[in-house]
Amino acid sequence: MKLLILTQYFPPEVGAPQNRLFELAVRLRKKGMDVTVLTAMPNYPQMEVHIEFKGKFYSYEEANDLKIHRSWIYVSKSKGILKRLINYFSFVLSSLWIGCFKLGKYDFILCESPPLFLGITAYLLKKIKGAKLIFNVSDLWPESAEKLGLVTNKFFLYSATRLEEFLYRKSELISGQTQGICRDISARFPEKKVYWLPNGVDLNYYNSDSVQSNWRKENNFSDNDILLLYAGIIGHAQGLEVIIKAADRLRSYSDIKFLILGSGPEKDKLMRLKNELKTDNVYFLDAVTKKEMPSIVAASDIALIPLKRLDLFKGAIPSKIFENLAMKKTLLLGVEGEAKELFIDQGNCGDKIAQQFWEFINLNK
């Protein structure tokens, strides 16, 4: 059986979809499936094509017994909607070209959304290759963009919603990262097969018993410091201003230190807020490779996992929950709904002190 995974995001980039799709591809390959990946030149979240791929329209490699095709993508550090759309559609067009002229026939095409527009390539390749389409939804788009205020143009939102509905109808199977996403799609399209494909973690990689870490000492933190770590995309959905404002209120506790690790569109804004409030107990750290993360998580005391307080996110389960739980770290979870029910109420993965602490610092309320 032959499977094509179509995604804008894939290692060596770091992030939730990159890790999830790589691990899925590797495991399906081990089960005997012939797996090919069609992805973009790596650039996310720095929005700069990695040096070894610069200037290339097409690249091919084999790694972990996977066939990986990469095609050109336009990247820009601009946060404007026009530049983001050019970014998305540049890969829609280049991936369609590579799919048509470099790739053979497939039994299934698994398309990662967002970006929703990549579904256009997936649908056309489905018709050309005679494949069945699996549409994998990790974020309800364009709903999330509208609720976050990132997109306000009514015509654009209407058009994107029509595209979303078209792609769901043309899919043989729809998979979602959370039960909330699956329920939403099933309620709107009761005739479609919807499968819950949750995030997870490699317990051989994130293993608190085997990871030895000198990271705290190497970065000049003492054994008495209480390190609260946020590691991930520094984006709009997370509402990370709450961490800076919490640090401002807790500045008299010199041993409590907040670490914000990663890259993203909101990083510069947050760094300006830190400077305005003079919160010296907040430390911004650059994004690191997947290989480096276990030692950093091991060195921290508490995992900070916030999202903005929107009904949209009541069905969200941030992927960083799994890595931190595998490393036996207490969650300080600023997320209502499914994540709280599964990991706090039922899983008892965050104690009452942590919950009370989050209520104390959660200035989004």
Is the pLDDT at 336 greater than 90? The verdict is no
Rounded to whole angstroms, the Cα distance separating 148 from 19 reads 25
Mean pLDDT within 107-130: 96
- Residue 274 — pLDDT band, cuts 50, 70, 90? very high
Mean pLDDT within 92-115: 96
Give residue 363's pLDDT.
46
**Which sequence spans correspond to the domains of the chain?**
2-196, 215-361
Reduced to 3 states (helix: H, G, I; strand: E, B; else coil), residue 68 is strand
What is 2-196's CATH topology?
Rossmann fold (3.40.50)
Give residue 360's pLDDT.
53
Mean pLDDT within 133-149: 87
Question: Tokens in use for 358?
Answer: 């989050």
- Single pTM value for the model: 0.82
Mean pLDDT within 152-170: 92
Give residue 352's pLDDT.
46
Asked which of 54-68, 88-102, 138-152, 284-298 is least confident by mean pLDDT, the reply is: 138-152
What would the CATH number be for the domain defined by 215-361?
A: 3.40.50.2000
Reduced to 3 states (helix: H, G, I; strand: E, B; else coil), residue 336 is coil
Give residue 364's pLDDT.
44
Asked which of 105-114, 255-264, 339-348 is least confident by mean pLDDT, the reply is: 339-348
Higher pLDDT among residues 106 and 289, named by residue: 106
Give residue 84's pLDDT.
86
- What are the pLDDT digits (tens) for 346-356? 877 765 445 55
Instruction: For residue 46, give the nearest of 202, 327, 265 by alpha carbon.
Output: 265
- Residue 338 — pLDDT band, cuts 50, 70, 90? confident
Rounded to whole angstroms, the Cα distance separating 253 from 273 reads 20
Instruction: For residue 98, give the nearest of 140, 138, 70, 129 by alpha carbon.
Output: 70
- What are the pLDDT digits (tens) for 44-86? 878 889 999 999 999 999 998 999 999 999 998 887 778 889 9
Instruction: For residue 95, give the nearest of 112, 71, 116 by alpha carbon.
Output: 71
Q: Which residues pair with 59 in a beta bridge?
A: 70
β-strands 330-334, 302-306 pairing: parallel
β-strands 108-113, 330-334 pairing: unpaired
Q: Which residues pair with 111 in a beta bridge?
A: 6, 135
For the chain, the average pLDDT equals 88
Rounded (5°) CA angle 278-284-288: 175
Give residue 365's pLDDT.
42
Instruction: For residue 334, give the nearest of 343, 325, 323 by alpha carbon.
Output: 343
Quote the percentage of the chain above a pLDDT of 90. 57
CATH topology match: 2-196 vs 215-361: yes
Mean pLDDT within 291-305: 91
- Long-range contacts of residues 162-171, Cβ cutoff 8 Å, at least 24 apart: 163/116, 163/117, 163/119, 163/120, 164/116, 165/189, 166/123, 167/113, 167/116, 167/119, 167/122, 167/123, 167/133, 167/135, 168/135, 168/192, 170/123, 170/126, 170/133, 171/133, 171/134, 171/135
Q: How does DSSP assign 196-241, residue by residue?
A: E------TTTS-TTT----HHHHTT--TT-EEEEEES---TTT-TH
Mean pLDDT within 265-289: 93
Q: Distances from the Cα of 303 to the Cαs of 6, 86, 110, 259, 352, in angstroms?
A: 32, 35, 32, 10, 15
- Residue 123 — pLDDT band, cuts 50, 70, 90? very high
- What are the pLDDT digits (tens) for 199-251? 888 888 888 778 888 899 999 999 999 999 999 889 888 889 999 999 999 99
Mean pLDDT within 307-329: 83
Give the residue ranges of DSSP H helices in 31-178. 81-102, 118-129, 143-147, 154-169
